[in-house]
Amino acid sequence: MTDEKFPPANNLPAGYVPPKVWTWEPGNGGQFASINRPTAGAQTDVELQVGKHPLQLYSLATPNGQKVTILLEELLEAGHQGAEYDAWLINIGKGEQFGKGFVDINPNSKIPALADHAPKDGGAPIRLFESASIMTYLAEKFGAFLPSEPRARAEVLNWLFWQMGSAPFVGGGFGHFFSYAPMKIQYAIDRYAMEAKRQMDVLNRQLADNEFVAGKEYSIADMAIWPWYGRLALDTSYPDAGTFLSTHEYDHVLRWAKQLAERPALKRGVMVNKTSGPLAEQLHERHDASDFLTKTQDKISEA
């Protein structure tokens, strides 16, 4: 029976008709096909390493990973020495997020994941997954970057969760089809480009009247939003995405993105667990503040 509303000849690939029941086939997923699966749970028995600090982070410098390392470096910059941490590299391209130790912390097998071995109640370690959960926990633990006044706190959380709900359309939607999919699909790119630009407009309007996203104070909302939308505004996210989306038009986002990019703690935070780009900007693991001076990949290559 021919579908008159959606003729198969117009599908991509031409003639494709969705089956009544979807089944997984190796190769689905474009660039990430080698690690994508339709099931959860551990695939290997690999345990996680534990360093000397109470806070143990297992991550990669994707935008979601950078949110947490920016916050940790900002906490240290602000004098919270209890925020010292070990950052262990989880190479998602090699499927390390499916090791048993990682899955024990994050059953969803996504970075970042964090274990606090010195929680305030003195009890067993606390596991944390989902970047917003980690950031809220750390902000509350150290009493920083999340206001206590109810209205200001609510505004920060509004924008933190706006980012969590919106960014998948930018990353898994626009970014995937623009940069990673095995073919260029105009419908998908148009659909997600429109949504990415709408979100940039939302943020631009908010920043027109506010120095920072949630108002007058720098907060975890800024730290969560910058790796996604700040980098997009600065055209340092997906190759050529800034040009394609005309992100220079969002002048208030661009002002904010440049302002945050000059913060020393943010500069350090985006380097942690980074495995691409200039070697001087890659710190695969971070176990001490001095590592930024002695253990970036350019220093290791020279040794």
Q: Does domain 55-142 have CATH number 3.40.30.10?
A: yes
User: According to DSSP H, which parts of the chain are helical?
Assistant: 63-77, 100-105, 131-142, 150-168, 186-208, 220-225, 231-233, 241-244, 251-261, 264-269, 291-294, 297-302
Q: Record the pTM.
A: 0.95
Spell out the CATH class of 150-269: mainly alpha
Q: Return the domain boundaries, the chain.
A: 55-142, 150-269
Instruction: State pLDDT tens for residues 170-220.
Output: 999 999 999 999 899 999 999 999 999 999 999 999 999 999 999 999 999
C-alpha span between 192 and 205 (Å, rounded): 20
Which tokens sit at 166?
A: 């919106």
Q: What is the mean pLDDT of residues 8-31?
A: 84
pLDDT value of position 3: 63
Per-residue confidence band for 12, with pLDDT thresholds at 50, 70 and 90: confident
* Beta strands 85-89; 55-59: pairing state: parallel
